[in-house]
Amino acid sequence: MADYQAPLRDMRFVMYEVFNTDKRWGQWPAIKELVDRETADAFLEEGAKLAARTVAPLNREGDEEGCHWSEEGVTTPKGYKEAYQLFSEAGLTGIGGNPEHGGMGMPKALSAQFDEMFSSASLAFILYPSLTSGAALAIDAHASEELKSLYLPKLYSGEWTGAMCLTESHSGTDLGIIRTRAEDNGDGSYNITGTKIFITAGEHDLTDNIIHLVLAKLPDAPVGPKGISMFLVPKVNVDKDGSLKDRNEVRCGSLEHKMGIKASATCVMNFDGAKGYLVGEVNKGLNAMFTMMNYERLFVGIQGLGTSEMSYQTALEYAQDRIQGRAATGPQEPEKAADPIIVHGDVRRMLLNMKALNEGGRAFSTYVATLLDTAKFSPDETERKQAADQVALLTPVVKAFLTDMGLESCVAGQQVFGGHGYIREWGQEQLVRDVRIAQIYEGTNGIQALDLLGRKITMNGGSYFKQFAGNIRSFLAAGESDEFSAPLEAALAKLESLTNKLIKQAAKDSNVVNSSCTDYLHAFSYVSYAWMWAMMAREAQNQLLAGTEEDSFYQAKLITARYYYQRLLPRMEGLLLSAASGAEALYDLSVEQF
């Protein structure tokens, strides 16, 4: 497997050249003293080294070794503890955390790049610290000052990790039917009892304590999602000064055997009267969850991108090394027995699909991260509101599309290897197994599609969509027309027409949204990437016109943009037709007729 190299040049391109994140940071009072381009770049360099040298080499062996369960707890594969230590020492565990409690307060547009790098290096590894960020976000937004000052500093420093305990065996997507119960001890604490499954990093040996955020129901809670509360349950009870006391009654019953991410401990967690503390208000547990949801879902999308980037780098190296057959135009390396397979059009097609999807995905996820930052840091209330609305609209898109394309891309990267791609030692098949989870967890991609077309489009009469379309048209109006302008405008107009059609259909047939949502999400995504590629191409053209020493980089952007418009954007044509075809063909079939 190729050595991983973080695509720093491309990360800087999307951050600074396409989205001007450094200029934005300078305009936001809450953040301008904390970060500028120079500090961000130094940080990126350090993170890139850690990802490449420390974490990436663990990935293959971690998959073979997996995690180990015993009565005493779970141990992670060889080298994970040391790598986690270095990761937290580098400040990466608290990178986006609240500075009032020891976090670094960095913008998401920056930390998103680390999310990608470490997803490339080892998806199984990055899941340990990443759950901490989510837990800390929920605690910071909803917990009491006492809980915040007790727990946040140690989560940000990486001394402790966090875990999210939502799913039960009968209750995944439908959290309204969870059975875990909480009883009020009358002393500010609760006793939590129940069993949670699929708990990522629910138990491990990386840190001395693990802070669980657990969804549970109080005895008198209303039925359904409005009766869920959130509790903070430490693995080891914590004294008022932050020192560790006795073991709490929360234990890992077993580890799941999975298709991939085998070095990540996916735990069955048993809460047996474990002591916990309410986070946020009684019965408002789902609200507390939603606080972190946008960040978490963006991160899962980026997992798809990161894994795919690793697959691309390895496939590209292989395609240059492996010789097999001759170019259609005649031998390219006649002194060898055959040409490198990158001469073959179908190999180039696979690599260019990956390249166009990865670079488009990097731009798109950085765009959504920038929107999250704008919604959080901008001093302009209107700008904050508009950014928050666009985050709401685009979060399901970034989660589902980057992971769907992540699988497609890793499958292509495996295919480039031919038979060797199917052999474990080469590492390409692991990427396929690992990336597959990202389409499933943190809300399946079907749920994301439902969220997009149901909640974010039809339920608000298309107002978020109008803003989205307006943003694309503003982009088009702000620059000179080029080869991408008319196709982008045309694609947007088609998506607009589909959106309006579906809003009308949905008003008449309540099955339309859940029948057409996935095709709609994909059509929406291809237009979004077309916009990203048009933005990147415009910047590349400007740089080439202005005269640059990096001709080759910018020309590659232009060619890849053309490739995207010629070879990938057309996929939306079929999606427009299928998404508009109504729900009848899905519901005419009785269950017995399936």
CB of 594 to a second copy, least distance (A): 5
For a second copy, which is the closer residue by CB, 106 or 265?
Answer: 265
- 81, burial (CB in 10 Å: exposed 0-12, middle 13-18, buried 19+): middle
Q: How far is CA 489 from CA 32, 182, 397, 480, 521, in A?
A: 36, 54, 20, 13, 18
Residue 183 has phi, psi (to 5 degrees) of -120, 135
Report the residue number, 372 or 405, with the smaller CB distance to a second copy.
405
Look at the block and give the residue holding tokens 């899962």. Answer: 300
Tell me how far apart the alpha carbons of residues 376 and 357 are, in angstroms, rounded to a whole number.
28
Q: How far is the CB of 536 from a second copy (least distance, A)?
A: 14
CB of residue 573 to a second copy, shortest distance in Å: 4
CB of 429 to a second copy, least distance (A): 4
User: Residue 561 CB, nearest distance to a second copy (Å)?
Assistant: 9
- Residue in 134, 117, 81, 438 with CA at minimum distance from that of residue 260: 438
The smaller minimum CB distance to a second copy, of residues 375 and 568, is found at: 568
Active-site option among 442, 496, 549, 550: 442
Q: Which is nearer to a second copy, 41 or 256 (CB)?
A: 256
Residue 540 near residue 555 (C-beta atoms within 8 A): yes
In the complex, minimum distance from the CB of residue 313 to a second copy, in angstroms, rounded to a whole number: 10
Q: 38 vs 592, which CB is nearer to a second copy?
A: 592
Q: Are 125 and 118 in contact (CB under 8 A)?
A: yes
Provide the CB-side half-sphere exposure for 254 (13 A, CA): 4
Tokens 């990126």 appear where?
Answer: 44
What is the closest distance, in whole angstroms, from the C-beta atom of residue 124 to a second copy in the complex? 13
Q: Shortest gap between Cβ of 262 and a second copy (angstroms)?
A: 10
CB-CB contact of 156 with 101 (8 Å): yes
CA gap 116, 465 in Å, rounded: 27
Shortest distance (Å) from residue 56 CB to a second copy: 20
CB of 215 to a second copy, least distance (A): 16
Burial class (CB in 10 A: 0-12, 13-18, 19+), 160: buried
Considering the complex, state which of residue 383 and residue 573 has its C-beta at the smaller distance from a second copy: 573
Q: Which of 444, 477, 468 has its CA nearest to residue 527? A: 468
Nearest-Å Rg of the Cα atoms of the chain is: 24
Nearer to a second copy, 391 or 437 (CB): 437
CB 136 to a second copy: min, Å: 24
Nearer to a second copy among residue 296 and residue 519 (C-beta) = 519
CB 6 within 8 A of CB 52: yes
Strand partners, 250: 271
Which residues is 588 bridged to in the sheet?
Answer: none
Q: Identify whether the C-beta of residue 414 lies closer than 8 Å to the C-beta of residue 426.
A: no
C-beta of residue 268 within 8 angstroms of C-beta of residue 251: no
User: Between residues 282 and 440, which has the closer beta carbon with respect to a second copy?
Assistant: 440
Residue where the block lists tokens 């590659």: 556
Backbone angles phi, psi at 213, to 5 degrees: -105, 120
Judged by DSSP in three states, 274 sits in strand
- Please tell me the distance from the alpha carbon of residue 35 to that of residue 32, in angstroms, as a whole number: 6
In this structure, the chain runs to a length of 594
- Active site (annotated) includes residue 442: yes
Distance CA 144, CA 77 (A): 36
Cβ closest to a second copy, residue 229 vs residue 515: 515
CA angle 8–14–18, rounded 5-degree value: 150
Token representation of residue 190: 């609760």
> Strand (E) positions, 265-398?
266-279
**487 neighbors 565 (Cβ within 8 angstroms):** yes
Tokens of 539: 């910047």
Tokens linked to 12:
């800087």
Question: Which residue, chain included where needed, has tokens 């959106």?
Answer: 499
Using the minimum distance from each CB to a second copy, give the nearer residue, 208 or 333.
333
Residues designated as active site: 442
